[in-house]
Amino acid sequence: MRRFVLAVDRLAAVIARLAQGLAAAACLGCLALVSVAVAARYFFDRPQAWSDEVVGWLVVATVMFAVAEAQRRGEHIGVDWLVDRWTGARRNAVLGLGALSVAVVCAVLIYEGVETVRFTVMMGVKSNALPDVPLWAIQALVPIGAGLMLVVALAQLLRWAAGLPPVETEAGGPGRHE
């Protein structure tokens, strides 16, 4: 059982790190696009109306691809004063409850995100600024990001259920592999 849990944990770490790379690329894309848009507007008097919408999409991509790694490292929203002050079984129980809460929220985000995408596909909604881009492609980032974070939360729950201690970050918090 221990080997299985550790293998799942390693797989979740790889997935989260790959997604983090996509988040970094989206963030760099934001920087590049905003820089080009500012130059076009102020140096060439040619504002690009579509760039604001695309930057918004890239911000969503950045967040949704980064949340899994934040959860894995224990840097996601948590009740730090409980985790930091408690040790042993109480600390592990709080971490397990936190991972379970994240998993439930992820399941809701996946379900609602898929429903939103289905509705948008049914209605045929397209981008205002770029009419060739269907909005469902952008909205799909929400259930994808929630699915990535769900993988991490389930790996954390497996670890907890197997009685293994949570992985620790360099700062001493739950999250990163030893």
Tens-place pLDDT, residues 99-151: 899 999 999 999 999 999 999 999 999 988 888 889 999 999 999 999 999 99
User: HSE (CB half, 13 Å, CA atoms) of 83?
Assistant: 20
pLDDT in tens, 40-62: 999 999 988 889 899 999 999 99
User: Taking the CB of residue 28, how many other CB atoms lie within 10 A of it?
Assistant: 12
Beta bridge partners, 134, equal 126
Look-up of token digits 């008097």? 45
Amino acid at 133: V
Q: How far apart are the first and last CA of the chain?
A: 19
Please calculate the CA angle 172-175-178 and round it to the nearest 5 degrees.
70
| Tally of CB atoms within 10 A around 61 | 21
pLDDT band, residue 26 (cuts 50/70/90):
very high
List the one residue out of 109, 19, 18 whose CA is nearest residue 62. 19
Please state, in angstroms and rounded to a whole number, the distance separating the CA atoms of residues 145 and 66: 8
